[in-house]
Amino acid sequence: MTAGALGFWRRTRAMLIKEFIQLRRDRVSFAMIVMIPIMQLVLFGYAINTTPRDLPTAVLVQETSDVGRSILAALKNTKYFAVVKHARDADEFDSLLKSGRVLFGIEIPVGFERALRRGETPALLIAADATDPMATAAALGALNGVVRSALAHDRAIPDSDPGTFEFRTHARYNPAAVSALNIVPGLVGTILTMTMLIFTALSVTRELERGTMESLLAMPITPIEIMFGKIIPYVIVGLVQASLIIGAGIVLFGVPVLGSMALLTALSTLFITANLSIGYSFSTVAQNQLQAVQMTFMFFLPNILLSGFMFPFAGMPGWAQVIGEALPLTHYIRIVRAIMLKGAMLDELHYDAGALAILMLVAMVIAVTRFRRTLD
């Protein structure tokens, strides 16, 4: 081997060792290399379920009878439905569906058992929240067989014929199962999450890399004032983005806005501020802009997978739902779908609005605390 070739391989080896040493020192990048594939494997393998089970269901029993008890027992025994609420009246029944707390509502009307005994054809009323067609389609298909089987073996009606009653199904809010009505509202939150996180995740690290942090620290300004000064401009940017997406959805895809635009704007502002605060927290931890972007991606991945945007939230295992409830996008998707497609008001969205407010405040406290340590 010639001297030139030896020198080439010697220099290449030195450069290779240098890169490994640098990678070892960059703990954030090393953690991303390990954690991202593990996170994807766990989420796709355990949390994502395209055939959701144990979907939250409300029942409105207009009469107490043996047939009604048989139907409820059949529902509880199936893996598709989980009866989480017994509605007192039709208003509560409708409110539960509109708020998104349940995906199904099953009503046993007055006189159902008597009509069945007389050989008539009574109707079992089923309301489904069709804003997420993937979550409801399989369960609706299974419901027919479950209830008919329960009544066929019901000793209270020994002569019953499983074909002597009918299902009256009402797919609410998206009866034609138009995919755009499900996707466009979710895209509002998904796009805002990605852009808002990146905007503020780079804010402090950019100051450090450009050498302007010293000038900033020399000014008579507090960490809270710095945070608000960096966040507020992007709140306006986020609202402009949201307006463009919603406007395009209305014009191009015919997505309705049945609720209050003022309420949607107010809660969108809350969601945008929460994401900006989280991104700002990342910027106080990261040592450079690359690390800030890596942290943003790590946070964005569970948001898009566990929020209910791509896969039904109600069909995820309990531990995945707990993680999802700690993500702002989960609550905002419920809010924007409820306002746009259902015409929901604040009293029906108080849980998700409150969760967004708490997440925003927690992120702000962490950001200010971390920035104060950076000053020290």
- Could you tell me the pLDDT band of residue 84, with boundaries at 50, 70 and 90? confident
Residue 58, pLDDT above cutoff 60 = yes
Q: What is the mean pLDDT of residues 96-101?
A: 86
C-alpha 283/C-alpha 206 separation (Å) is 9
The domain defined by 55-172 folds into: abc type-2 transporter like fold (3.40.1710)
C-alpha 148/C-alpha 22 separation (Å) is 66
- Could you tell me the pLDDT band of residue 369, with boundaries at 50, 70 and 90? confident
Angle of the 179-201 helix axis to the 328-337 helix axis, nearest 10: 140
User: Can you give the residue ranges of every domain in the chain?
Assistant: 55-172, 179-375
pLDDT of residue 44: 65
By the 8 A CB rule, do 47 and 303 touch?
no
* Cβ-based burial of 355 (10 A; exposed 0-12, middle 13-18, buried ≥19): buried
- Could you tell me the pLDDT band of residue 158, with boundaries at 50, 70 and 90? very low
What are 149's two structure tokens?
């089987």
**Any idea which of 22-36, 154-168, 243-257, 275-289 has the lowest mean pLDDT?**
154-168
Question: Collapsing DSSP states into helix, strand and coil, what is residue 59?
Answer: strand
Of all residues in the chain, what percent carry a pLDDT higher than 70?
81
Q: What is the pLDDT of residues 317-328, one digit of tens each?
A: 888 889 999 999
Which residues, in sequence order, are bridge partners of residue 166? 123
Q: What is the mean pLDDT of residues 246-269?
A: 92
pLDDT of residue 160: 47
Q: Which of 152-166, 270-284, 359-373 has the highest mean pLDDT?
A: 270-284
By the 8 A CB rule, do 359 and 274 touch?
yes
pLDDT of residue 166: 74
Residue 258, pLDDT above cutoff 50 = yes
Residue 40, pLDDT above cutoff 70 = no
pLDDT of residue 317: 83
Residue 110, pLDDT above cutoff 70 = yes
C-alpha 196/C-alpha 194 separation (Å) is 6
Residue 297, pLDDT above cutoff 80 = yes
Q: What is the pLDDT of residues 220-244, one digit of tens each?
A: 777 787 788 888 889 999 999 999 9
Question: Collapsing DSSP states into helix, strand and coil, what is residue 123?
Answer: strand
How confident is the prediction for the chain on average, in pLDDT? 81
